[in-house]
Amino acid sequence: MFTSIVGNVFGFKALRALRLEDLRIPIAYVKTFEGPPHGIQVERDKLNKYGRPLLGCTIKPKLGLSAKNYGRACYECLRGGLDFTKDDENVNSQPFMRWRDRFVFCAEAIYKAQAETGEIKGHYLNATAGNCDEMMKRAAFARELGVPIV
């Protein structure tokens, strides 16, 4: 939530100066978040990476790429040595890059990079949607693709 609010506002080029002085999150909202479901060890196990930092990046630009070019960016990063890539938290499903196409091209990128490097790779797909049913549908599709991390 913080990155969506602050990251987008501070990244707005039309603003010449801005200072965040206060951010209040309602207690009722805070109580709904119990923390991540698991820790770094689970991620290390999925990627088979131990004894060193995990290396990853967020694919940029977050908007404007076709799903095919987005997948290509994932592949280039993974083939270049990163362990994982991730969707920007604001990447969802736009007319020029539908979520299902993005998921498929990212999965292809992972499998291609794994075949070429001999290492396990991953991509964190943003499955958020306008309602819970749609989000669960997207998450199920991501799981069906069989990639190590989604």
125 in Cβ contact with 117 (< 8 Å): no
Helix axes 99-117, 132-144, angle to 10 degrees: 30
**Could you give the angle at the alpha carbon of 131 between the alpha carbons of 42 and 68, nearest 5°?**
65
pTM here is 0.78
37-144: CATH, from 3.60.21.10, 3.40.640.10, 3.20.20.110, 3.10.20.30: 3.20.20.110
Greater model confidence, 90 or 7: 90
Res 10 pLDDT > 70: no
80 in Cβ contact with 55 (< 8 Å): no
**Could you give the angle at the alpha carbon of 100 between the alpha carbons of 37 and 61, nearest 5°?**
80
Would you kindly state where each structural domain of the chain is located, as residue ranges? 37-144
109 in Cβ contact with 75 (< 8 Å): yes
Residue pLDDT, tens place only, 95-141? 788 999 999 999 999 999 999 999 999 999 999 888 999 999 999 99
